[in-house]
Structure formats: structure tokens, C-alpha cells
Amino acid sequence: MGDDSPLNDEISSESSHPTLHDVVETLGLPTHLSISPELHGLLASEPRQAVLAHLHETDRQVTVAELVDHLVTTDVERDEQRARTVLHHVHLPKLSDGGLVAWNRREDAVSASFGERPR
């Protein structure tokens, strides 16, 4: 994902991906160790990282079509149809169930809900 990663804003590293050392230096070891395995699993996927970073950067509700375009233009996904399919069937359900996004399926819109649990 490169420079789109939220951690890269605060971490200066020659690598495009932060190391454990970078994370500990930025967030502190207790913070890193207190993240649940479920949250680690949610954040381990590059497309989910890209979705969360885009929502954070735009700070507004976006359409799924906009997320598809973002994934394709940032080379996280190469094919629009595949990006749409995995968003609908994998990434958005996981992020929504994990309380990280609010996904209005009827309007096909997504917004950040960091820390808010789904209703």
C-alpha cells in the first residue's frame, strides 16, 4: 500500500511498510500489544487498510463505487469488477462487523465509524 498507510504519516522509514520497531516507536508497545487478534486480522488486509485510509483522508461518507475506483487507481486491486465483488462480499462485511465502518447497503455508501459498534 505504500505511502497511503495511516502509520506512514507519522513513521519515517525507508521501507514502504512499517516494521514492528516503527509501530512500537510511534504507538508504544503497550498499545501495540493491547490490540485484539480480531483487530489485527481486520487490519492485516491491504484492501481493508486502503478503505480505512481513504475514509480517514476524505473524512466523509463515500460510495462503494468511489472505493472501487480508489482500490484500482492505487493498484491495490487491478480489476474493477473484482474490487467491487471483494468489497461487497469480504472487506465491507468484515469492517462493518468489526465496527470500523458504517455500510449502508441500500444506498451503497460507507463511512468511518472508528470505535463505534454496529447496531
Cell numbers linked to 67: 472505493
Q: How confident is the model at residue 15 (pLDDT cuts 50, 70, 90)?
A: very low
Query: Coil, helix or strand for 98?
Result: coil
Total-model pTM: 0.70
Mean pLDDT over 90-113 rounds to: 94
Sheet with 62-63: strands ordered across: 62-63, 109-112, 101-104
Give the residue with greater pLDDT, 16 vs 6. Answer: 16
Over residues 22-81, the pLDDT tens digits come to: 665 666 665 656 677 888 788 889 999 999 999 999 999 999 999 999 999 999 999 999
Tell me phi and psi for residue 105, to 5 degrees: -65, -35
Give the residue with greater pLDDT, 10 vs 74. Answer: 74
First vs last C-alpha separation in the chain: 31
- What's the rounded Cα separation, in Å, for the pair 56 and 44? 17
Residue at grid coordinates 498507510 = 5
